[in-house]
Structure 1
Amino acid sequence: MRITRVLGAALLTLGLAAGPAAADSTPSASPSEDDAAPTSAGTSFRTATEIDQGRTATASASAGDYLYWSFPADIGQRPTVRATVKLPAEHAAQTWQIDVYDGLRRRQACQYGAQTRTADAGTASVELACVLRTVRAWSEPWANDPLPGTYYLRLTAVDVPTADLGQPVAAEVRVESKDIGGAAAVDGRLAEPLVPGVAVASRQDEDDSGVSAVLSGIEPDDGWSSGWWSDRWVWTAAGAVLAALAGIGGYALTRGSGRPRHVPPNA
């Protein structure tokens, strides 16, 4: 009975510990469909159109234009950027490309995905995709690791015949993320996410200057992560509890009844 109670307590503890981790890994609810999705794109980093993850943004443009959007990415997320370009009925072969930059405007490499594709003559549309590396809480100054903050998506045609320049095209972009969790957790964190103008805004808040100078106001629905918490703390605590209970159970099994053995008197 004692061993049964010990095992029951261990399972209960593990279930309670795993509960928060399972809740954290659940994808957040998509934004309300009542919120209008952006229908235009910027033409530079400074004029990039802000979009939320999980929403499809559209834009009408001309072949040869540079289209920019920005989106937030937080610690532990692995963003996937997808773009679809609808082409005119008649056109020559065109090559389209998507590039992603972080808050410091450093180009981020794609782990996998068709970042560049060529649409043959007469093709109705071309689809592009880029899966980024997992966003880290902290990185060495010399590294090019993706860090929390604003990310920029640039869509453009890199090889368009002169006769096709200026032809109308329609673009759709969508950003979604997979929550990697504690598997990507590191020690340390940034003082502030890499959001354009956030350092200026912080100084103004300290000086009570008034107006904020943040250039990008978009952020995750539940705010930016602090960087110190991850589900690895839950599993570490659960492992420690299970190890302690296993030690108690092993001691209970090996120590015996505790009564002294009967020694027959010497004949």
Structure 2
Amino acid sequence: MMVDLTGRTIVVTGGNSGLGLSMAHGVGRQGAAIAIWSRTKTRNDEALAELREAGIESSAVACDTGDELDVAEAMRETVARYGKVDCLIANAGIASTAPFVDTDLEEWHRVLRTNLDGSFLCTREAARHFVERGEGGSMIVVSSMIARYGGAGQAAYTTSKNGLIGLGRTLAVELAPHGVRVNILIPGWTATAMNTHLREDEKFMRATTRRTPVRRWAEPEEFHEVAAFLADPALTFHTGNEVVVDGGYTIF
């Protein structure tokens, strides 16, 4: 896939592992400079080593995306380094599994703080930068297939991912006059560290694989081209779209 992102700066929240790191590789391979915003410095350093070994210009800011001051400082540092930001991939997220009747308010808030509040803060900071700069931009808001179906024991996670769909749609409408595109990525079952415990459950794997027409889970690397496509500045009319990449799960 030929997408030219040369000269573009792309922020990937939660970009130090899993799907976020894979998308960082995808846009970086097309010429973009990558800025990872994520909490854990050691994992940030490991991700940078991997990206730089692949020849990708990259940097990282140790940022708690659920903290308003951290997010503002991360944008300041990124703009100071690269002069601008062209695209934000709002990917940072955590999971939680517990029966609904046993989910306490603290756990509910912990998940929503990262998944929903964090995406709000990061997209707002990016929107402010795009509007002030006056040259447009783009955002990719990463939701989840679970937002369409729900899942037992996943009340907080599912609610947060549904909220991201609403956030992405609203931003697409509100920011379009500023030349800012906002699309929502809805990935299906993907083999990442976050769901290792699910992949160790043979019954669960059989059930989800049977439900997926391609009869397997995705590998993170399969989102390289998806991220590059969504970040492509040439697609000026593509906004407000929910891009489902799930091996056919949602139509089966």
Please tell me the TM-score bracket, short chain as reference.
Answer: under 0.3
The structure carrying a bigger helix percent of its residues is 2
Asked which structure has the greater RCO (Cα within 8 Å, sep 6+), the reply is 1
TM-score, reference length from structure 1: 0.24
The structure carrying a bigger strand percent of its residues is 1
Larger radius of gyration: 1
